Structures are given as structure tokens and as C-alpha cells.
Chains A and B, each alone.
Chain A
Amino acid sequence: MISLVLSDRERPGVRELESYGRLVRRGTTAVKRGFAHMLKHGVVMDVTNVEQAQIAEEAGAVAVMVLDKLPYDVRKAGGVARTASIKAIEEIMDHVTIPVMAKCRIGHTWEARVLEEVGVDMIDESEVLTPADEERHIWKWDFTTPFVCGARDLGEALRRIEEGASMIRTKGEPGTGNVAEAVRHMRIVKAEIRRIRAIYEEGDEQELIKAARELRVSYELVVETARLGRLPVVNFAAGGIATPADAALMMSLGCDGIFVGSGIFKSADPLERAQAIVLATTYWDRPEKVLEAQRMVSEAKSMTGMDLKTLELRMQERGTG
């Protein structure tokens, strides 16, 4: 079942019409969060053009994410990173049958509006692009199209859900080929959920209210998360995943699926690597299958990773409010 907590806010994004004598409702919480549920156990791959999108589809991607530049190249290029060209997005939508997602800048409601008009299947309000609003994120309940947002800890994740995000992913540290931050963010979220779950099981309402204040979110969202013992929406790993074993590691930490950004198309063996990461994501709990996947790639062809201590730009620190 899909958690429908906070769905009393869904009205602005819902489109009602009558069809064959029945009331049809688009953009409801069930329809938006439900879309994310269909991606589970799958791999979403970053692409910048049709050729890459077709390789991703062929390899078994569950969706593609369209960017102007891969996160690694965003880092190298510097300057302001914005949403991708509409032409590139439309071309990709015309050439693959799997869902197409695109990124918009944090707080940039009108980039998001444009992406919704184009008809992308999900919008990623992403720290990989340069934030347009340092104070607040998009109020995502206003949209019929579902959103995914990044988070480093439980408070960030729940605040994004409170704003209407239908899916969460770890931020990790994008474009680095270094999985360490994604691991850290996933572990933090898990530990924080364990803590509120324990309070919930003790029935200590006062402590739950205190936790909600600390997390800066509504009490009912904290209670729902504690009751479920997990985030109330689908939660993927993202930011630094570069090998099949990285994907298996993230799945073993309890993620519902994987985003791979630069890891595939900044490697020298993209098709094999994409296939291998898909295999390792599904069979993460079968070491012999992860081995089979890992054998499909060569470490010499992996993207060059970056040491996190030397980074000038920490994308994960964008949009934490």
C-alpha cells in the first residue's frame, strides 16, 4: 500500500475529468507516489542525449534522467547549471519507451512548470544544478507531475515530503564516483528512523513532538515514519555510485533502488557497466550474481573518482533548509 500521509494537501495538483461517465482523477498522491513505487529495485540513469538514453534503455534502466551535462562535467565546467535543453528532452522522450525524468534547479518553480508542460514523467529538484532560491524549495503539491528530491538526513527527507515530494533519494556527493557520502546519508536516515521508531513503540508522545520540532516537520509525518519504520515514500540511493558493487552495497543498506549519474557515461564501458549495475541492483543479496556483474566491468574503465576532502564544491550542502 502507498502511504497517503499529508494527502489532504494534494488538491492543487489534482486534475479531475469525466471519462466514460466516471470521475477520473490525475495527479493524486496515490498516482504520484505510485509512480515511484513502480521504479523500485531498478536503476535510473543520467543521460544527456538520445544515444545515451537508448543505451540506458537497452541495458535495462527503469527510467532515464535528462541533464545538460553529467554531474562530473557540471563540476568541471563551473558556472551556473540549469535545466536541460527542451529539444534534448523532447528528442529523448520520442526515442525511448521507459519514463523520462529531468532536473530543475532547487526553488525554480518555473523551470519545473516548463518540465511539466513538456510532459516529463518525474521532476528532480536537484542540488546538482545551481539553486535558484536559497531559502525555499518548490511547493510540489501544486504540480500534477511527481517530484523526487535529495536528502542527507531524516529532517531534510521529511521536509521535502512535507512540500510534496513523491520520492526521496540520498544526495551523496554527485559527480565524484565516490559512494562514501551516499552510504553516510543512508546510514544517517536509517539511524534517525530507528530512534523515532523506538520512541513510537514506547508510546512517548512528548518525545515524538520534540523529535518533530528538531526535524522541523509536522508531528503526523513523524508518527507515520515511525509507524512504518521507513520513509513513507520510495527512497533511492544517489550520488557517487560507479560500480555494480556500489549499487549492491546501497541496496543492502535498505534503499529501494539506484540512481547512477556520471558513473555510467563517464566510464569507458557504458553499456556493459549499465547492464552490470542493473544486474547487481536486482541480485544484490546473491554474491555470485554481484560477482557476475562485477566481472562485466573493468576497474581500469571506471570513472576517475574524486577524494571528497579536496572538493571545492559540495553539492550536497545546497538546499538543506
Chain B
Amino acid sequence: MVRIGVTTFQGDVEEHLAATREALRRLGVPGEVVTVKLPEEVEGLDALIIPGGESTVMGRLAQRTGALDAIRRRVLEGMPVLGTCAGLIFLAKRVYDRVVGETGQPLLGVLDVLVERNAYGRQRESFEVELDIPALGARGFRAVFIRAPSILEVGEGVEVLASYGNRPVAVRQEAVYGTTFHPELSGSTAFHEALVREAVRFSRR
């Protein structure tokens, strides 16, 4: 029995709830998927997902309510986490924006990457493309990039799971997963299944 949370500060929460339930079903893992927006709700989770949305909004609400510190502590204890798009930004150590430079926004800082926000441009430049993600055994993965960030630098302990062009778009540092696109919109549950497997390992520790 694993317990997986999805942060509900802001963003496409419901898509992650559905994808995670589907991943549990496909893997035959008994578990529950819950929403998380208060610090006490972070306790007892075997994994956490931070959805797409606006990273500045999530960061401010998480900071205000004390959930930011609670999440960071659990991730440093080894709790697996998946951040997609804004979620990746929230996980990152350093964030840069072309419009305002260093953003100074509240971050978890648990994933050793430098991320540029809105790196591909505005919504008009948002796109979808099919990617191969060999580390997860996925071919022709429908990757949807929405005002997506870009990973400019990765630290030593960071494994690149997928790239598009010359930039990493999916990375992993131990049990911390981040994607610049939205696997929760793709119809494939490859990333959610990877997280469920991590949650099972973590729950048995």
C-alpha cells in the first residue's frame, strides 16, 4: 500500500491524480492518491507530484503555509518526487528568466539544475513533439510543451532521461524526477509508473 500525493497549490492537479491512479492500476500496486496543500499533509507520503502551472504562484503559497519546508525535508529524507514543467522549476536549485533575470522566487532547491523559464517563448510558441525516452522504454512519447522551461545546466549527480535538440527535457537525481514537458497530458503513464516503483521502494525502507 503506497500513498502518493499531488500538490494542489495551483495547476493541472486532476490530470496527475488520474495518471497516477492509472499507473497504480497498470502496475497492480495497491495505493491511494491524495491532494496535498498543507504541511501536515506531506507527512506519511511515499511519493509526491508537483504539477504544471505557474511556479511563482505555487512557491508563494507553499512558502506562506509552511508546506515548502515540509516538502523539502521529506525530499531530503529520500521521498521520491516528480515535478512537471512548473513543478520542475519549483524543484530546481537555480532559476533564470529572460524578462527579469534571476527570479528570486521560492524554490525547493532539491534538483541540481539551472532552469530557464519560458525558454521557448510565449504560448504561441508552445508545441507538441514525439520523443523517445529510452530510460523508460518509451518510443514516440507525445510530449506537450506549454510555455515550457529549459534545462540549461545539470549537476554531477543528475541523469538525463530524455533530450530534445541539444537540451535535456527529462532528468533524474536519485528519486527526484523532473520534466520540462507535461507527461500528465500525454496519455502515457511511463513517468507515473516510474514514480510508483520509486514509492514502493521508499515505502519498504
Contact A119 B164 (CB under 8 A): no
- Digitize B126-141: 1 where CB-to-A-CB distance is under 8 Å, 0 elsewhere: 1111110000000000
Q: Is B26's beta carbon under 8 Å from chain A?
A: no
Contacts of B118 in A (CB 8 A): 97
C-alpha spacing A30/B187, complex, angstroms:
11
The count of chain A contact residues (Cβ–Cβ below 8 Å) is 46
Docked-complex contact B144 and A62, CB < 8 angstroms: no
User: Are the CB atoms of A122 and B99 closer together than 8 Å?
Assistant: no
Contact A22/B15 with A40-B53, A98-B54, A119-B124 known, Cβ cut-off 8 Å: no
The listed residue (B8, B14, B185) touching A30 by CB distance below 8 A is: B185
Instruction: Contact check, A144 vs B182: say whether CB atoms are below 8 A apart.
Output: no
Kindly supply a per-residue 1/0 record for chain B positions 76-89, scoring 1 wherever the CB is within 8 Å of any chain A CB and 0 otherwise: 00000000011000
How long is the Cα–Cα vector from A23 to B127 in the complex, in angstroms?
10
Could you tell me if B99 and A94 are in contact, using CB atoms closer than 8 angstroms?
yes
Residues in chain B near residue A63, CB distance under 8 A: 54
Residues of B within 8 A of A1 (CB): 15, 18-19, 185, 187
Chain A residues 8 to 64 lying within 8 A of chain B, measured CB to CB, are 19-20, 22-28, 30-31, 34-35, 37-42, 57, 60-63
Contact of B99 among A40, A96, A116, A146 (CB under 8 A): A96
Bound Cα distance A278, B60 (Å):
10
Encode A287-302 as 1/0 by CB contact (under 8 A) with B: 0000000000000000
B178 on the A face (CB < 8 A): no
Residue of A nearest to B167 (CB): A20
In this complex, the member of B9, B122, B126, B182 whose beta carbon has the largest number of chain A beta carbons within 10 angstroms is B126
**Any chain B CB within 8 A of the CB of A277?**
no
Q: Do B127 and A31 touch across chains, with their CB atoms under 8 A apart?
A: yes
Q: Taking the complex as formed, is A95 at the interface, i.e. its CB lies under 8 A from any CB of chain B?
A: yes
Residue in chain A with minimal CB distance to B126: A31
B97 and A42 contact, CB distance less than 8 A: no
Interface flags, A136-159, vs B, CB<8A=1, else 0: 000000001110000000000000
Instruction: Decide if A2 touches B124 in the complex (CB within 8 Å).
Output: no
Query: How many Å from the CB of A86 to the closest CB on chain B?
Result: 15
Contacting pair B144 A31 (CB below 8 A): yes
A282 interface hit (Cβ, 8 Å):
yes
Residue B194 CB within 8 A of the other chain: no
Which secondary structure characterizes the binding site on chain A?
loop
**Interface residue from A28, A41, A95, A279 paired with B8 (Cβ < 8 Å):** A41
Once the chains bind, are B10 and A279 in contact (CB under 8 Å)? no
Determine which of A25, A93, A146, A282 lies in contact with B129 in the assembled complex, contact meaning CB atoms within 8 Å. A25
Residues of A within 8 A of B144 (CB): 30-31, 34
A229 at the interface (CB under 8 A from B): no
List residues of chain A with CB within 8 A of the CB of B182.
34
Which of A28, A31, A42 counts the most B-chain CB atoms under 10 A from its CB? A31
In the complex, the number of residue pairs spanning A and B with C-beta atoms less than 8 Å apart equals: 136
- Residue of B with least CB distance to A94: B99
Task: State the CA gap A279–B58 with chains docked (Å).
Answer: 11
**Is A219 an interface position by the 8 A CB rule?**
no
Q: Is B146 touching A31 in the complex (CB atoms < 8 A)? A: yes
Nearest CB of chain A from residue B171's CB, rounded to whole Å: 18
- Segment 5-45 of B: residues with Cβ below 8 Å from A: 8-15, 18-19, 37-38
Among A22, A60, A96, A120, max chain B CB count under 10 A is at A60
- Are the CB atoms of A22 and B129 closer together than 8 Å? yes
A41 to B51, CA, bound (A): 12
A279 touches B64 (CB 8 A): yes
Residues of the A chain whose Cβ atoms lie less than 8 Å from the Cβ of B64 = 279
Find chain A residues with CB under 8 A from B85 CB. Answer: 38
CB distance from A90 to the nearest CB of B (A): 12
**Does B117 lie at the interface of the complex (its beta carbon under 8 Å from any beta carbon of A)?**
yes
Residue A121, interface by CB 8 Å: yes
Given contacts A34-B185, A38-B52, A60-B56, contact A99 B147 (CB under 8 A): yes
Task: Report yes or no: B18 in contact with A282, Cβ–Cβ below 8 A.
Answer: no
Measured CB to CB, the closest approach of chain B to A190, in angstroms, equals 17
5 other A-B residue contacts (CB within 8 Å) besides A121-B124, A283-B37: A28-B128, A34-B146, A37-B52, A62-B57, A98-B56
13 A–B pairs (Cβ distance < 8 Å), ordered by A? A1-B15, A1-B18, A23-B130, A24-B129, A40-B10, A41-B9, A62-B53, A63-B54, A95-B99, A99-B123, A116-B124, A146-B123, A286-B38
Taking Cβ atoms with an 8 Å cutoff, the residues of A that contact B are 1-2, 19-20, 22-28, 30-31, 34-35, 37-42, 57, 60-63, 93-99, 116, 119-122, 144-146, 278-279, 282-283, 286
* A-B pairs with lowest CB-CB distance, top 6: A121-B123, A20-B165, A37-B12, A41-B10, A42-B10, A26-B127
